[in-house]
Amino acid sequence: TLRASDQISLIGGLRSTSVKLSNNDYITSDGNSTGSVTYSAINPVLGLTYHVADTANLYLNYGRGFETPTLAEMGYENNLATIKQGFNKALLAAKSDQYEVGMKWLPNRLTRVDLAAFYISTRNEIIVDRTSGVDSSYRNVSGTQRRGVELATQTQLTSSLKHTTALTFLDATFNKSEGTVVGGNPLPGVPAKVLFTDVSWSSTDF
């Protein structure tokens, strides 16, 4: 973290990740799926904050994401004729560029308001390729994008009672048509709107 002036601060970070997944197949009568694969990445994060006042900040952040396949996603292969157990070394890790701009504001000593707009561009997104019964194989698609806005508030109702609300609007789509994927279509299972609200009580003061 670097404080460039009374009103401007900068943050930066770098993370190096290496993940190795391996499989030993002890029953080779149906084919030998023994193998291993290593996923590596160096991901930066950068941030700029403008301190408008003691109670309000404006910020701009950038980060790079890295998500490896799970062992369950690598456990089956699509050999065109059917799905078979194996070790899908063809799966790539998903990588994303994430941008966020927003505001954090304390309108009074008991309330906090957060407003953020974000954009995420992902390469090699992992999706379901084929399903047979309870088994599914997975593959990569070249790209997806997520664009959204989130408004969140937190209010201290009493010393032991807190209310939180968050409303998110999200547009998540595939970039282009490839195979069974149609460009511009929404990502399955990703809701366009999410509302979260709760009231929390603590036996001790928050």
Q: Which tokens in the block code for residue 186? A: 């929404």
- Write down the pLDDT at residue 84: 75
Q: Of the ranges 36-40, 68-72, 77-81, which one carries the lowest mean pLDDT score?
A: 77-81
Flag whether pLDDT at 28 surpasses 90: no
2, 14, 47, 96, 145 from 42: Cα distances, Å: 22, 7, 17, 12, 21
Q: 124-132: long-range contacts at Cβ-Cβ below 8 A with a sequence spacing of 24 or more?
A: 124/92, 124/93, 124/94, 124/95, 125/94, 125/187, 126/67, 126/69, 126/73, 126/91, 126/94, 127/181, 129/78, 130/78, 130/83, 131/83, 132/82, 132/83
Give tens-digit pLDDT for 154-180.
999 999 999 999 999 999 999 999 988
pTM value surpassing 0.75:
yes
**H or E segment at 161?**
strand 161-174
User: What DSSP designation does 175 have?
Assistant: S
Half-sphere exposure of 12 (CA within 13 A, CB side): 4
Single out the residue of 65, 141, 53, 50 nearest to residue 101, CA to CA. Answer: 50
- Write down the pLDDT at residue 80: 66
Q: Which residue has the higher pLDDT, 25 or 176?
A: 176
- Write down the pLDDT at residue 81: 61
122, 124, 143, 170 from 63: Cα distances, Å: 12, 17, 17, 19
